Amino acid sequence: DAGITQSPRHKVTETGTPVTLRCHQTENHRYMYWYRQDPGHGLRLIHYSYGVKDTDKGEVSDGYSVSRSKTEDFLLTLESATSSQTSVYFCAISESPGLAGREQYFGPGTRLTVT
């Protein structure tokens, strides 16, 4: 299995509080992604990174920010958590999407509940 860890694995927080989720990889892959998964929606891309300090928005980026100061770490921050951000969050990595067939490897997920 690819070396991807996510922390925390479970978190309950109150509306309006800031929350940071961490994704850590040991594969030295250049590309990292944050997805959220909700019933009836499959996985939806929030933000992605194509290098240190290089990030871009995905399809559901409102209310989220990201940072990548090191190759191995990709942080997802909810500045002021809302109940609509209750979800399971998955991090993924890939080596090089410029080459055909470079699959993404996913972490174990973080279950976030905003009360």
Partner 1 sequence: DAKTTQPPSMDCAEGRAANLPCNHSTISGNEYVYWYRQIHSQGPQYIIHGLKNNETNEMASLIITEDRKSSTLILPHATLRDTAVYYCIVRVDTGATNKLIFGTGTLLAVQP
Give φ, ψ of 6 to 5 degrees: -125, 140
In the DSSP assignment, the letter for residue 63 is T
Q: Can you give the binding site for partner 1, defined by CB under 8 A?
A: 31, 33, 35, 40-45, 48, 50, 56, 58-59, 90, 92, 94, 97, 100-109
CB of 7 to partner 1, least distance (A): 14
What token pair was written down for 31? 């590309």
Choice between 64 and 90, CB closer to partner 1 = 90
Between 12 and 79, whose beta carbon lies closer to partner 1?
12
Residue with tokens 């990201």: 66
Token pair belonging to 63: 């209310």
Among residues 36 and 78, whose Cβ is nearest to partner 1? Answer: 36
Whole-number minimum distance, CB 94 to partner 1, in Å?
7
- Which among 50, 48, 47, 49 has a CA at the least distance from the CA of 60? 47
**Minimum distance, C-beta of residue 38 to partner 1, in the bound complex (Å):** 11
Strands 64-70, 73-78: pairing is: antiparallel
